[in-house]
Amino acid sequence: MRRIRIMEHISLDGVIQHSTDDGDFRYSDWTAPYRTSAGRDAILAAYGGSFDLLLGRRTYDIWSGFWPKAPSSPMADGINAAKKYVATHRPESLPGGRSRALGRTSSRAFAA
């Protein structure tokens, strides 16, 4: 069985949420002006060369509208190449390829 690593991007004051297309969070992206290349490099090192993602459905929907259109970068390329395991009640609406819905028998999908 593979290990699950939890990676949270969080500001010092506890903000995790980033921008969304629906604009429902007025403080989103406030950390962007303070990001450094050293911070980016630390995040990329923590993720490693290749990885899979375990996502909730709302996060998957937000990400699938952003990352495939993002300019090529180590982060965008890694996220786009990752297999996405999605907790959802609507598996039929996931595109094929690198996305897989989690179900009752999906725990076997994480076996190494």
pLDDT tens per residue, range 53-89: 999 888 898 888 888 898 998 888 988 999 999 999 8
| 5 conformational bin, left if phi > 0, alpha if psi -120 to 50, beta if neither | beta
Question: Is there a single domain that holds both residue 37 and residue 81?
Answer: no
The model's confidence at residue 112, banded by pLDDT at 50, 70 and 90, is: very low
Checking if the pLDDT of 109 tops 70, the result is no
Higher pLDDT, 79 or 19: 79
* Domain housing 42: 9-48
Question: Is there a single domain that holds both residue 57 and residue 94?
Answer: yes
Give me the pLDDT at residue 51, please: 86
**Cα dist from 104 to 47, 51, 93, 109, 111, whole Å:** 27, 23, 18, 11, 14
Question: Is there a single domain that holds both residue 62 and residue 106?
Answer: yes
Question: Is there a single domain that holds both residue 56 and residue 19?
Answer: no
Q: What is the DSSP letter of 54?
A: E
The model's confidence at residue 27, banded by pLDDT at 50, 70 and 90, is: low
